[in-house]
């Protein structure tokens, strides 16, 4: 029976990642960033984990079926309780575990717009932030200041970048797709121009020793963010003049203007066609 059901789901083209087999195969891997600070990969957005005398501070929580695996992975680092989970933005690959964690009494914290979007999408009370903020928020935990700064309209309208002050580590959420084309969620309040501003602003606030956890892609540093910045700026300088000439999206695509980047950057969440469609249209709409 199971096999037939699975096959018919595939036949309908509805093979979402939500099959038991897929979740079973996911491995949550901690990667040490500094003493007591880790990035963890699994399926979905990269997690950030701070451990120490005050307990565990977790950034993002991937998908609901992975919660127990994530908790088990954290237990290998610390036997302490999770004090807070911080959502960098509302997307399901970063907030899918919220309800499970909220049910365990863990406090969820995020920007006001994350709260609004999760609430509007029908997330239950347990999965919603109990604390939300409008601009900047600082946690005084584990011997350091952990500051979340909101940037309006970048990947979404609720993005936060988290600075682990003193450790010189930042988590950029999905304002940074390392080694891939970024996703600008225009319907979720994001904008291409705002994304460029966040990347530029962040570069100005870090130094060569800063470690950067991106929302997706491998752990990196300022040099990695500089490359991402330069690629995005170059893409802007290629697409903007075409938009200013008034070409339609199809006409712009026919020029194949991002060909030099498609091979290296078009294999992530954004394929080349979807990426140029979103970004070109957003540039045109905001000329």
Interaction site with Zn ion (CB under 5 A): 91, 174
Shortest separation between residue 89's beta carbon and Zn ion, angstroms: 6
CB 222 within 8 A of CB 210: yes
Our CB check for Zn ion shows the closer of 89 and 142 to be: 89
Smallest distance from the beta carbon of 269 to Zn ion, in angstroms?
8
Neighbours of 46 (CB within 10 A): 27
Q: How would you classify the pairing of strands 82-86 and 107-111? A: parallel
Q: Measured from the CB atom, is 17 or 241 closer to Zn ion? A: 17
Phi/psi-derived region of residue 169, left when phi > 0, alpha when psi is between -120 and 50, beta in every other case: beta
Residue 64 Cα to chain centre, angstroms:
16
Selection from 24, 28, 21, 20 nearest residue 45 by Cα: 28
Kindly state the smallest distance separating residue 158's Cβ from Zn ion, in Å: 10
What's the Cα-to-Cα distance from 191 to each of 184, 186, 281, rounded to whole Å?
6, 6, 11
Nearer Cβ to Zn ion (61/174):
174
Min dist CB 93 to Zn ion, Å, is: 7
* Closer of 141 and 213 to Zn ion (Cβ): 213
* Residue placing its CB nearer to Zn ion in the complex, 88 or 142: 88
Shortest Å distance, C-beta 117 to Zn ion: 11
């Amino acid at each position: 029976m199971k096999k037939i059901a699975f096959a018919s789901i595939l036949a309908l083209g509805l093979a979402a990642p939500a099959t038991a087999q897929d979740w079973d195969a996911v491995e949550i891997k901690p990667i040490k960033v500094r003493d007591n600070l880790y990035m963890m990969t699994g399926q979905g957005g990269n997690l950030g984990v701070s451990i120490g005398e005050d307990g565990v501070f977790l950034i993002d929580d991937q998908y609901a079926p992975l919660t127990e695996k994530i908790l088990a992975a954290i237990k290998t680092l610390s036997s302490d309780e999770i004090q807070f989970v911080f959502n960098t933005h509302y997307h399901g690959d970063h907030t899918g575990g919220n309800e499970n964690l909220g049910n365990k009494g863990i406090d969820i914290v995020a920007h006001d717009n994350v709260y609004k979007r999760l609430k509007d999408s029908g997330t239950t009370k347990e999965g919603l932030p109990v604390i939300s903020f409008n601009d900047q928020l600082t946690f005084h935990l584990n011997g350091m200041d952990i500051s979340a700064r909101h940037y309006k309209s970048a990947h979404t309208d609720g993005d936060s970048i988290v600075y682990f002050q003193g450790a010189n580590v930042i988590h950029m959420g999905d304002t940074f797709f390392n080694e891939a084309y970024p996703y600008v969620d225009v319907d979720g309040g994001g904008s291409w121009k705002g994304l460029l501003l966040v990347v530029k602003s962040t570069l100005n606030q870090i130094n060569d020793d800063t470690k950067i956890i991106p929302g997706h892609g491998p752990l990196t540093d300022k040099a990695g963010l500089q490359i991402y910045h330069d690629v995005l700026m170059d893409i802007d300088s290629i697409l903007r003049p075409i938009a200013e000439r008034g070409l339609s999206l199809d006409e712009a695509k026919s020029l194949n203007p991002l060909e030099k980047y498609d091979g290296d950057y078009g294999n992530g969440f954004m394929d080349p066609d979807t990426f140029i469609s979103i970004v070109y249209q957003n540039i045109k709409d905001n000329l």
